[in-house]
């Protein structure tokens, strides 16, 4: 049977939201055209009290199967709380996992933040995921890339090459899987059997490790994709709020058409 590729995307209102989502939408649409054997199911979790028309339109225009839900993290503007729970998009990703279970079709799950960059060929690779897969991520962890290392004799992952706190200890805990959110995928079977969810209690830098620890016991169990983790098909990109220059053309209500 055809496997479903679930793409879980948390999104929230910021100046770049429209262009970020549009870019992701067009990447996903291209991937679904290139790999028509795969069925992309885009799950958009909007961090807002209600679903917005702007986001709904982008989802609808994609022509993809999609779910669009509002999951509001009410502490967004609370700076003190933000420090305590530094993981953005966490409640949204967990809600995305519940949506996958509600849809109920077998397939692969990938967490695609709205502002990252993806090569459309990544999405064909993801469909090789049997349980939990791993692959390289560009511009990640303060380096050109983070990737796993594969033992050429066994074909198994024997290390994750990461420069950002690869042996980071939080209390007595180690970043066992020093990976970016964009660098792994899991099957729906793995989700159902392990019941893995993101932990709101995870400390900074431990979110991926805590989640992956629920899926596999050791790096050797991770299935390396994209030419044994040597090909970069996903990039961690972080959009920042643009610094506006004063633009007299747009004074007023901002609706003036630039001629
Ligand atoms: N996000 C969210 N609510 C927030 C902040 C971020 O839903 O208050 C989403 C955001 O749109 C993105 C993901 O969570 O899809 C990761 O956020 P961001 O890109 O800011 O974090 P990064 O991991 O790049 O530092």
Number of Cβ within a 10 Å radius of residue 131: 16
pLDDT (average), residues 232-256: 69
pLDDT > 90? residue 49: yes
Mean pLDDT of the chain: 87
Is the CB of residue 93 less than 8 Å from the CB of residue 44? Answer: no
* Interatomic CA distance for residues 170 and 28, integer angstroms: 36
pLDDT > 60? residue 257: no
pLDDT of residue 245: 60
210 lines ligand 1 (CB under 6 A): no
- Reported as a single tens digit per residue, the pLDDT across 68-80 is 999 999 765 554 5
Q: What percentage of the chain exceeds 70 in pLDDT? A: 84
Answer with the residue of higher pLDDT: 251 or 1.
1
pLDDT of residue 255: 45
pLDDT > 50? residue 24: yes
46 lines ligand 1 (CB under 6 A): no
Report the residue among 7, 9, 12 best suited for mutation to probe ligand 1: largest number of ligand atoms under 8 A from its CB. Answer: 12
Ligand 1 centre to CA of 113 (Å) is: 7
pLDDT of residue 144: 85
Residue 146 catalytic?
A: no
pLDDT of residue 15: 84
pLDDT (average), residues 198-213: 92
Atom 14 (ligand 1): residue with closest C-alpha?
Answer: 89
- The minimum-distance atom of ligand 1 relative to the CA of 115 is 19
Q: Tell whether residue 114 is among the known ligand binding residues.
A: no
For the chain, the three-class secondary structure string (H helix, E strand, C coil) is CCCEEEEEEEECCCCCHHHHHHHHHHHHHHHHHHCCCCEEEEEEEECCCCCCHHHHHHHHHHCCEEEEEECCCHHHHCHHHHHHCCCCCHHHHHHHHHHHHHHCCCEEEEECCCCCEECCCHHHHHCCCCCEEECCEECCCCCCEEEEEECCCCCCEEEEECCCCCCCEECCEECCCCCCHHHEEEEHHHHHHHCCCCCCCCCCCCHHHHHHHHHCCCHHHCEECHHHHCCCCEECCCCCCCCCCCCHHHCCCCCCCCC
Region of residue 38 (left: phi > 0; alpha: psi -120 to 50; beta: else): beta
Ligand 1 centre to CA of 150 (Å) is: 30
- Reported as a single tens digit per residue, the pLDDT across 124-178 is 999 999 999 999 999 887 788 898 999 999 999 998 887 665 554 555 577 888 8
ipTM of the complex: 0.95
pLDDT tier, 92 (very low <50, low <70, confident <90, very high otherwise): very high
Going from the C-alpha of 1 to that of each of 4, 18, 33, the distances in angstroms are 9, 35, 19
Q: Which residue out of 46, 125, 146, 208 is catalytically annotated?
A: 208
pLDDT of residue 85: 57
79 lines ligand 1 (CB under 6 A): no
Characterize 236-251 residue by residue with b for buried, 16 or more Cβ atoms within 10 angstroms of its Cβ, and e for exposed.
bbebeeeeeeeeeeee
* Phi, psi for residue 105 in degrees, rounded to 5: -95, 145
pLDDT tier, 102 (very low <50, low <70, confident <90, very high otherwise): very high
Smallest Cα–Cα separation from 73: which of 55, 93, 53? 93
Report the residue among 7, 8, 9, 10 best suited for mutation to probe ligand 1: largest number of ligand atoms under 8 A from its CB. Answer: 10
Lowest mean pLDDT among 26-35, 138-147, 149-158, 193-202: 138-147
């Amino acid at each position: 049977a055809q496997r479903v590729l679930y793409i879980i995307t948390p999104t929230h209102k910021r100046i770049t939201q429209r262009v970020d989502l549009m870019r992701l939408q067009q990447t996903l649409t291209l991937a679904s055209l290139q790999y028509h054997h795969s069925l992309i199911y885009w799950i958009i979790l909007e961090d807002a009290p209600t679903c917005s028309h702007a986001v709904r339109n982008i989802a609808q225009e994609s022509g993809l199967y999609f779910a669009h839900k509002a999951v509001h993290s009410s502490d967004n503007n609370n700076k003190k709380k933000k420090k305590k729970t530094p993981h953005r998009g966490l409640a949204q990703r967990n809600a995305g996992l519940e949506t996958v279970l509600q849809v109920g079709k077998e397939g692969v799950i990938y967490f695609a933040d709205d502002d990252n960059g993806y090569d459309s060929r990544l999405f064909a690779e993801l469909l090789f995921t049997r349980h939990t897969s791993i692959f390289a991520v560009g511009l990640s962890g303060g380096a050109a890339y983070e990737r796993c290392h594969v033992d050429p004799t066994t074909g198994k992952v024997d290390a994750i090459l990461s420069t950002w706190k690869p042996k980071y200890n939080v209390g007595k805990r180690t970043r066992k899987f020093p990976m970016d959110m964009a660098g792994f995928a899991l099957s729906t079977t793995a989700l159902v059997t392990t019941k893995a969810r993101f932990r709101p209690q995870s400390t900074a830098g431990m979110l991926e490790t805590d989640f992956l620890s629920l899926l596999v016991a050791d790096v050797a169990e991770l299935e390396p994709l994209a030419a044994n983790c040597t090909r970069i098909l996903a990039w961690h990109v972080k959009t920042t709020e643009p610094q506006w220059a004063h633009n007299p053309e747009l004074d007023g209500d901002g609706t003036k058409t630039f001629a």
